[in-house]
């Protein structure tokens, strides 16, 4: 192979542990003149070939590994098989019997760095987030259509990470064309309308699927507050579980429009739900001042800290909103609280929540921990894939 990244002496340890990222600081020099997305050999200082990776000259993550087998052929057949394997694994999940919406490809965890693909019924939503995924875009699209028989693929390559890769955003149909602003899906017997064109990320938070089911099971007879309700996933699950009343708060008017559509798509008592447009922090303070009390509070805020460098500022936001939640919980009430911030570890998140309870004068116990659904697997050698964490707490 004519292109290679040669590592500095002693900088091959992470690769030998099969971590798929090679940072710029680990590279001694580049042999050849690879273009963005080209496949390069990754060699130790002694010349041993350690992996084959996609080159990204504009990113601090200078290369992402396709294969740790030096003799592998990185070609259309390689990607066709990787896609097929990822799809087969999802077909074997228990959730596949209860929903027609799954994450089919989860980047590094499926051996396809920079590629994320969600399936919503007969529409795929794909994100090409790295130079390597961009280089093989057409090949990957062909493989996805073949593996799923979905003719429509909508591209949402508009995440901030593309800027770090030197890539411009791109949104629109990559394959096929159909109305996809309200893509109907089913999740454990509940109907949702997913806006794959304008919604956050790929349109719906599939990672919270099993956690929505858990909230559904806990909601019976309780007054429920759903903060940052987005398109109403937790609120509707709570109502389906027998909640006495649900107050769902969200600052985005378009998200609330979809939430109301989602509610109307289900045979539920809509009079028991109030979707309220407001800043969640401000509205929770107002509820506190009014002496409101709830038996179950759900907090699923947006990503406050994408990276560890932003964790300190994010910690204040997480602490403030959870402190308010503890104030609003009745004795014996439950708090289901989440963080999707990659820069906040599970240990830090628990410490933040402990501080919030202390400042609120509340005693609470962790009775469960939440994680992303099984269609978001975490490779053992890539802990960065484990971004969603949550706690279920009982207020004494």
Among the listed residues 99, 102, 94, 86, the one whose alpha carbon sits nearest the alpha carbon of residue 147? 86
Q: How many CB atoms lie within 10 A of CB 206?
A: 24
What is the Cα–Cα distance from 337 to 370, expressed in whole angstroms?
Answer: 9
**And the tokens for 218?**
């806990």
Alpha helix positions (H), 151-304: 161-164, 209-218, 233-240, 253-264, 280-289
What is the Cα–Cα distance from 303 to 50, expressed in whole angstroms?
Answer: 35
CB 319 within 8 A of CB 340: no
CB 307 within 8 A of CB 345: no
Among the listed residues 100, 77, 67, the one whose alpha carbon sits nearest the alpha carbon of residue 209? 100
What is the Cα–Cα distance from 300 to 158, expressed in whole angstroms?
Answer: 22
Among the listed residues 122, 201, 109, the one whose alpha carbon sits nearest the alpha carbon of residue 155? 201
User: Does the annotation mark 229 as catalytic?
Assistant: no
What is the Cα–Cα distance from 197 to 362, expressed in whole angstroms?
Answer: 42
Q: How many CB atoms lie within 10 A of CB 31?
A: 15
Residue 228 falls in which region: left (phi positive, over 0), alpha (psi -120 to 50) or beta: left
Instruction: Write out the catalytic residue numbers.
Output: 340
């Amino acid at each position: 192979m004519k292109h290679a990244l040669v590592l500095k002496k002693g900088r091959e340890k992470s690769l030998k542990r099969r971590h798929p990222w090679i940072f710029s600081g680990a590279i001694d020099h580049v042999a050849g003149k690879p273009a963005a997305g080209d496949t390069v050999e990754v060699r130790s200082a002694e010349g041993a070939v350690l992996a084959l990776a996609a080159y990204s000259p504009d990113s601090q993550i200078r290369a992402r590994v396709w294969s740790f087998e030096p003799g592998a052929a990185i070609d259309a057949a390689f990607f066709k098989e990787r896609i097929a394997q990822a799809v087969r694994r999802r077909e074997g999940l228990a959730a596949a019997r209860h929903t027609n919406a799954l994450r089919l490809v989860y980047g590094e965890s499926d051996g396809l760095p920079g590629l994320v693909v969600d399936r919503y019924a007969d529409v795929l939503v794909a994100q090409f987030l790295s130079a390597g995924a961009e280089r093989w875009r057409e090949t990957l699209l062909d493989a996805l259509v073949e593996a799923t028989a979905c003719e429509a693929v909508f591209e949402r390559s508009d995440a901030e990470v593309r800027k770090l890769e030197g890539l411009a955003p791109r949104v629109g149909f990559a394959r096929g064309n159909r109305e996809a602003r309200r893509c109907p899906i089913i999740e454990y017997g509940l109907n949702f309308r997913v806006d794959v064109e304008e919604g956050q990320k790929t349109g719906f938070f599939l990672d919270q699927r099993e956690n929505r089911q858990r909230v559904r099971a806990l909601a019976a007879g309780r007054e429920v507050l759903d903060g940052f309700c987005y398109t109403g996933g937790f609120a509707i699950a709570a109502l389906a579980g027998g909640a006495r009343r649900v107050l769902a708060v969200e600052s985005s008017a378009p998200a609330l429009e979809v939430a109301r559509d989602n509610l109307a798509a289900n045979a539920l008592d809509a009079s028991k739900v109030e979707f309220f447009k407001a800043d969640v922090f401000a509205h929770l303070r107002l509820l506190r001042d009014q002496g409101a009390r709830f038996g179950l509070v759900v907090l699923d805020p947006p990503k406050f800290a994408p990276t560890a460098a932003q964790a300190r500022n994010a910690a204040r936001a997480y602490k403030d909103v959870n402190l308010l939640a503890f104030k609003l919980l009745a004795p014996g009430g439950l708090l289901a609280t989440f963080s999707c911030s990659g820069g906040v570890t599970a240990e830090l998140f628990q410490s933040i929540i402990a501080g919030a309870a202390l400042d609120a004068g509340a005693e609470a116990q962790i009775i469960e921990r939440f994680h992303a659904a099984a269609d978001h697997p975490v490779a053992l050698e890539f802990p960065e894939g484990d971004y969603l964490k949550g706690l279920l707490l009982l207020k004494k």
